[in-house]
Chains A and B, each alone.
Chain A
Amino acid sequence: MKHLHRAGRAAFAALLFCLPLSACRPSADIGNARTELVVNDETRVVIEVLAGDPSHSLYDALSVFRENGQISFGGEGSREDFYLTSLGGLEADSGNFWAVYTTLGTWEGQPYSNAEWGTWEYDGRTFASASYGVSGLPLVEGEWYALVWTAIEGA
Chain B
Amino acid sequence: MLLSGRRSRAHSPARTVAASAVMCALLLTAQFVLSYVPGVELVTALLLAFCYFFGWRCGVLTATAFSLLRCFIFGFSPNVILLYLIYFNAFALFFAWMGARRRPVAAWVCPVLLALLALGALAAALADIPVSALYAGRLKGMAWALFAVMCALLVLYAALLVRGGRGRETASLAALAAFFTVCFTLLDDAVTPLFYGMSHEAAFGYFCTSFLAMLPQTVCAAVSVLILFPVLARIFGGARKTPPQTLDE
Q: Name which residue of chain B comes closest to A56, CB basis.
A: B134
Given A114-B201, A131-B205: A78 and B38 within 8 A (CB)? yes
- CB-CB nearest in chain B for A107: B133
**Cβ-defined contact, B212 with A110, below 8 A:** no
Is there an interface contact between A108 and B133, defined as CB atoms closer than 8 Å? Answer: yes
The 8 Å CB contact of A80, one of B130, B138, B201, B205, is: B138
Binary A-proximity of B101-144 (CB < 8 A = 1, otherwise 0):
00000000000000000000000000000111111001000000
Give a binary string over A95-121; 1 marks a CB under 8 Å from any B CB, 0 the rest: 000000000000111111010100000
Task: Select which of B131, B132, B209 is within 8 A of A137 by beta carbon.
Answer: B132
A-B contact count (CB 8 A): 35
Which of A57, A109, A114 sits near B134, CB closer than 8 Å? A57
Q: Separation in Å of the B216 CB from the closest CB of chain A?
A: 12
Chain B residues with Cβ below 8 Å from A54 are: 133-134
A131 CB contacts on chain B under 8 angstroms? 132, 202, 205
Please, how many angstroms separate the alpha-carbon atoms of A111 and B209 in the complex? 14
- For the residues of A in contact with B, the DSSP-based class is loop
The answer to whether A110 and B130 touch across the interface, beta carbons within 8 angstroms, is yes
Q: Looking across the interface, which residue of chain A has its beta carbon closest to that of B205?
A: A131
Residue of B131, B199, B205, B212 touching A81 (CB-CB under 8 A):
B212
B38 contacts which chain A residues (CB < 8 A)?
78
A52-107 CB contacts (< 8 Å) to partner B: 54-55, 57, 78, 80-81, 107
Q: How long is the Cα–Cα vector from A54 to B199 in the complex, in angstroms?
A: 27
B residues neighboring A (CB under 8 Å) = 38, 130-135, 138, 199, 201-202, 205, 209, 212
Interface residues of A (CB under 8 A from B): 54-55, 57, 78, 80-81, 107-112, 114, 116, 131-132, 135-138
